[in-house]
Structure 1
């Protein structure tokens, strides 16, 4: 089977978990003997707007092109304010992307096309894919079909389904939806939010949880005892991720034998570093390699997701469980679908500093290794292997129905 993935980013260019997901699934399918191609973007300084650059990464054929727009997905945080409105207009339907993707897809002749995050590529990838005689499966990683703000978050708060974005949703319903034969999402919350917005009312939708890479999920419980009680945050340091909430909750802990490790980068990092200068228990480590991330998961007693936004199905939870580390998460979006309270972790009221601080204090005072065992067992049931087994079934079913 030849599967072609369309994703706005692909490692080593990464921002979030979606592009890592595409890589992990692609490489697993290659190991199973399938042919896998990926169409993605290239940064302005390393690609071309006129043709795809090609490379083979761990058996996956990767084709990168620079969109003819103001900036590429990897460059969006450095964009000037005046560039963004122009970017959004072109990113509705980019004729360059349509022409180049259609031509490449016709030459590749995939059996299945699997679209993922497409910000920076525009709706044109769907009309280009629609010209190919192959089923199109789309995985929802965010809310880009609902609003130009794919996290439904603005000025420090959730914006929900805005009336002003109704024409945008109608455009997507007309241009994108007819080409999609199957919708997948790791979170039922995300599927429901799209249906509430009037999207995919007659398109088959299925919740398919992600999976943990076999390299991270061994048979033995992966727990390391340390002198301190270590709390971990791993992700983008942005307002919607709620790192400031975690720091405020942590600062209320009187214990000296607690430590907060914050991994990642983002626009809030410098401000939060300055704020935390007086507390030696709080350490910022910046962006770390995947090998280093594994080590921090092993050292952590609990991982915290203090999200303000409608988080989908955070890969951090899967990765944390694979290292036998329980998770304390905000009760918002798809997070509660992955945390069994008192079993694999705890939930707290979103943005409630006192509630989170109480959960951290309780975890420190009465740490239960059974939670580590439960987290490990959860990861064993939700492996990348199991996920790809189900993906293959979806692909075969859609091919038979085409």
Structure 2
């Protein structure tokens, strides 16, 4: 079969776990003998970047383009709310996104298209796939089809924005532009129920399918040699990931533990400064999968202190692959993974 994959971001351009999941699925399908292509985004680089072109050929052909909007998806930090609102409005009905998927479908003639996160590439891509008569599978990763930012913070469920007509209008727009996929995959029961309660995908078949594991050619944990207990945090260095709360909690412990932190984000300088002031904190910055596996193999536990409603964090899968226990927040789909 020829299978298309659509994702707002795709490695090496990645922000979180959703893009890694999309890549792992693409690689796994290729290894099973399928022909795979990917449609994703890129920053604006002149007029030519508005049209999808093959930029990489690895296991799969990767088409990249800039979906015309007021800024690129990864340039959203410190953007004022009115500009963000305009960006989300353009993204919801993205003409460029519809044209891009129509063009790629015409050139590739796929048997099925699997979509992942569509914020930033165009939610309307969903309905356009169906208009082209191609079977459509959508994979859920977060709450972005109800909450435009993709973030629902614990304690803010009843905020004015989450209760306003704007969110309900947005959900109606998403329902229209996503159309009716042939199948929706959700890695967690939590996320499936979240959308069902809001009237999304109620007339579509939904299946619970955990995220794929990373490549399993890894060794388990090393024999314990460190005298201190080694904790590891891996993820975006953002407020919603609970990194600030984790560092505050560290003050309640003595010298018997070390905390390793791997990731990048707007709080990177804060984390680096904390590491300079506290010898127990070891900041590794962005890490490749190979480096992450090495960190996991020397860790006693992984900490996932998120304060937002997570779906199915990939770091938990990676931890289990190496045999590292996980301490995590009791929120969203996380409890479904903690055994």
TM-score, reference length from structure 1: 0.78
Question: 2:88 aligns to what?
Answer: 88
Work out whether residues 216 and 322 of structure 1, in 8 Å CA contact, stay in contact via their aligned partners in 2.
Answer: no
Query: 1:212 maps to what in 2?
Result: 213
How far the C-alpha of 1:204 sits from its partner, in A, is 0.9
- Which SS does the other structure have where 2:173 is aligned? helix
Q: Which residue number in structure 2 is paired with residue 202 of structure 1?
A: 203
Structure 2 gap ranges (5+): none
Let me know the Cα RMSD of the aligned residues.
2.1
Give the deviation of 1:88 after TM superposition. Answer: 1.6
Deviates more, 1:328-337 or 1:70-79: 70-79
Q: Does 1:7 align with 2:10?
A: no
Following superposition, the deviation at residue 337 of structure 1 comes to 0.2
Measured after TM superposition, the shift of residue 44 of structure 1 is 2.0
Q: Find the partner of 2:169 among 167, 170, 174.
A: 167
Distance 1:244 1:158 in 2: 21
Instruction: List runs of 5+ in structure 1 lacking aligned partners.
Output: 341-402
1:262-284 per-position Cα deviation (integer Å, ceiling 9, x unaligned): 11111223234434543210122
Counterparts in 2 of 1:150 and 1:248: CA distance versus 1, 3 Å: same
Stretch deviating more after TM superposition (139-148 or 13-22): 139-148
8 Å CA contact 2:92–2:177 kept in 1: the answer is: no
Structure 1 residues 323 and 21, CA, compared in 2 at 3 Å: closer, same or farther? same
CA contact (8 A) 2:41 2:65 kept: yes
Q: Is the 8 A contact 1:113 1:129 kept in 2?
A: yes
- 8 Å CA contact 2:67–2:122 kept in 1: the answer is no
Name the CA distance, whole Å, in 2 between partners of 1:28 and 1:59.
Answer: 10
1:131-152 deviation line (CA, Å, top 9, x unaligned) = 2222111011011111212112
What does residue 63 of structure 2 align with? 63
CA-to-aligned-CA distance 1:197-249 (integer Å, 9 cap, x gap) = 1111121111101121234555xx43342312110000001111001221122
**Could you say which residue in structure 2 is the equivalent of 1:393?**
none
Give the structure 1 partner of residue 119 of structure 2: 119
**2: CA distance, partners of 1:56 / 1:32:** 21
In the superposition, relative to structure 1, how do residues 292 and 245 fare at CA in structure 2: closer, same or farther (>3 Å)? same
Q: State the shift of 1:121 in Å.
A: 1.6
Match of 1:48 in 2: 48
